[in-house]
Every structure is written in C-alpha cells, then in structure tokens.
C-alpha cells in the first residue's frame, strides 16, 4: 500500500489583519520555511473504519473515535470523508508533523488542516480541488477561531501571495520585484481568538472609532497592493509602518511586539509591524536582503525566540501532493 504525503506551508499576513474580519482587504504570503506534513498509510492488520491519528509534536496518539467530534483534527478528517463520499475508510494511520509554531500568527492550524485534507482525500483515491480543500479548511478554522476571515486557509491552500477580502474572496497578487521579509517571534503565545474578541468588544463599545481605523487600514492595504504590483518598495515600507500605527490604536500590539518593532527599525529594517492576531506572536519587517541576517541577530538580541527570513519571488511555486 502506498504512503500518501501532502504538505502545506505556513503564512504571514503582510497588512490588513483584524480589519479583514470586518470585510476590509488584507495581503498575505505563504512562508515555505515552515511546513505541516501529513502522511496517510494503510493499517492492514486493523479492522475497517479504524482511523489512527499520530501527532508526535503535540504528544497525540489516538483513535479518531477517541477525539471529541468538534476537535479540529476530527473535523478535518470527518469533513474529508464526507466530501469524498466514504463512510467507512480502510483502516489507516495519519501521521501529522508540523514545524509551524502554534499560536504565533503563522497559520499552524490551517497548514495542518490543508495538508491533512489533501493527503487523506488523495489516499482515498479522490483528490480534492483547491476550492473544496479551502472550504473544508475554513470550517475547521471556524471551530478554532470563532469568526475567522478565511485569509489563513486561503493563502495556505492556494500557496501564493494573495489580496483577500471576505465578501469577494481572493485575487492572486502580482508581485513585480523580489522582496525580503524578516519574521520574528516574541515567544508570547497569543491565541487569535482572544485578540479577535478584544477587537470585537472595542468595536461594540465605540463602533465609529473602530470602523474609522478599519477604513484607514483598508486604504493602506489597497495602496500597498499597488506598491507591490509596481515594485515600489519604499512606499510599501511606509504603508507597513502606517499599518502598525493603526494596529497599535486598535490595541493589538504589546510591549514585546513594540520592542521588536523598534529594534528592527533601529537595526535598519525599512518597516516593521506585528503580524496576525497580535498581543504576542510574530512581527514582520521588510528588509534589505544584504542586511537581513544582521537585523535578525539584532532581533534575537532584543528577545526574539525565532527569526525566519523569507524571500518573496515574483512567481511563487505551488505545493503539491507527493506519492512515495
């Protein structure tokens, strides 16, 4: 019996987080340096229908029936079985591995879901198209985050830079010049759900103020899209910095994030801002590739627990399903 493996990258939001939940646009790119990888293999000795989940990174080793029905992994498996029309699969084991840090704004949940859905559907002989994979992964995100915009599952499913808006879906981003981003992790775990809830509470208290900030962020994102498409690096940097100021006003930055943002700018980054839910997790800086290592070292000295340098090429390669 073959082993089917699928992988999915992490992601980073370049601009527009939080406002994207309120139907403003956002930009996101895949981050290939971190990956979720799911392998599916047949258990010839086990009875039909037995699905075993092994996720050594999180010390999980369990039968599907031992997970609550609304567990994200159970939702991903059951959603896939339903989508491919298989009620009782042959006995199988899903081996789930991921180097995407959890609760850090790098899309760990969506990466695992996308890899799992792709691998399981392919194993059962019915590989799913991107649209179906994306819809299933979104359902899992809803369980994890409550009111996700859908940007994480979309950028990870399609594995390309995207301009995303909730009501209109996504458009591929036509990046015209290579760019280098430096991602640095504060080490502070910050579940997206909680950050989204605090923004929601502020919005309920003072909708006019929040809406004005969302509008400002929406305008920044549209201008940033044009800057990316026209290769205007300096404009993009200024817009990222403006986005960070608006995110601070939304109360989703934190002392640790501010410290890393300041350290990046002081070390020569062109721009720096938090990325994702905020209140911890990661920041992202636009940097001169020749200085990326040096700025990364400055960020580690300022307290970053992990730094990733990622290059955005005009034509990012897509990820596929491997058979071995």
Q: Which residues bind ligand PMV (CB under 6 A)?
A: 13, 17-18, 20-21, 105, 107, 145, 148-149, 151-152, 192, 195-196, 276-277
Residue 196: CB minimum distance to ligand PMV, A: 5
Q: Shortest distance, CB of residue 243 to ligand PMV, whole angstroms?
A: 12
Rounded Cα distance, 17 and 313, in Å: 22
Catalytic residue among 23, 130, 152, 288: 152
Distance CA 316, CA 121 (A): 25
Which is closer to ligand PMV, CB of 17 or CB of 185?
Answer: 17
Dist CA 210 CA 71 (whole Å): 33
Reduced to 3 DSSP states, what percent helix, strand and coil does the chain have, rounded to the nearest 5?
45, 25, 30
The structure tokens listed for 159 are: 């594995």
Place of tokens 């994102």: 221
Minimum separation from the CB atom of position 217 to ligand PMV (A): 10
Distance CA 269, CA 1 (A): 50
d(CA 89, CA 202) in angstroms, rounded, equals: 47
Task: State both tokens at 125.
Answer: 């002989």
Q: Which is nearer to ligand PMV, 121 or 242 (CB)?
A: 242
Phi, psi for residue 277 in degrees, rounded to 5: -65, -30
How far is it, in rounded angstroms, from Cα 285 to Cα 182?
5
Q: Are strands 92-98 and 179-185 parallel, antiparallel or unpaired?
A: unpaired
Asked if 215 is an active-site residue, the reply is no
Give the nearest distance from C-beta 242 to ligand PMV in angstroms. 17
Task: In angstroms, give the least distance from the CB of 85 to ligand PMV.
Answer: 30
Annotated catalytic sites, by residue? 152
């Amino acid at each position: 019996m073959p082993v089917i493996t699928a992988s999915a990258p992490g992601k980073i939001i370049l601009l527009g987080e939080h406002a994207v939940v309120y139907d403003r646009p956002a930009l996101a790119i895949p981050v290939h340096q971190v990956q979720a990888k799911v392998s599916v293999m047949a258990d010839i000795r086990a009875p039909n229908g037995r699905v075993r989940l092994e996720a050594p990174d999180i010390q999980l080793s369990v039968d599907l029936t031992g997970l609550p029905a609304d567990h994200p992994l159970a939702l991903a498996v059951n959603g896939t079985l339903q989508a491919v029309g298989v009620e009782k699969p042959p006995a199988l084991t899903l081996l789930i591995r991921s180097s995407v840090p959890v609760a850090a704004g790098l899309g760990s949940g969506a990466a695992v879901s996308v890899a799992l859905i792709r691998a399981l559907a392919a194993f059962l002989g019915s590989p799913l198209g991107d649209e179906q994979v994306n819809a299933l992964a979104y359902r899992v995100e809803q369980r994890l985050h409550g009111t996700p915009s859908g940007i994480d599952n979309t950028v990870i499913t399609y594995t390309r830079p995207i301009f995303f808006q909730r009501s209109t879906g996504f458009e591929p981003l036509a990046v015209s010049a290579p760019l280098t981003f430096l991602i640095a992790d504060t080490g502070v775990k910050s579940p997206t759900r909680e950050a989204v809830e605090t923004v929601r509470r502020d919005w309920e208290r003072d909708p006019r103020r929040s809406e004005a900030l969302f509008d400002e962020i929406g305008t920044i994102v549209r201008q940033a899209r044009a800057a990316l498409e026209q290769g205007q690096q300096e404009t993009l940097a200024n817009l990222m910095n403006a986005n960070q100021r608006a995110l601070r006003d939304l109360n989703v930055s934190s002392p640790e994030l501010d410290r890393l943002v300041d350290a990046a700018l002081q070390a020569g980054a062109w721009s720096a801002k938090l990325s994702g839910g905020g209140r911890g997790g990661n920041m992202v800086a636009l940097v001169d590739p020749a200085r990326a290592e040096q700025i990364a070292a400055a960020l580690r000295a300022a307290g970053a627990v992990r730094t990733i340098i990622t290059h955005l090429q005009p034509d990012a390669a897509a990820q596929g399903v491997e058979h071995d």
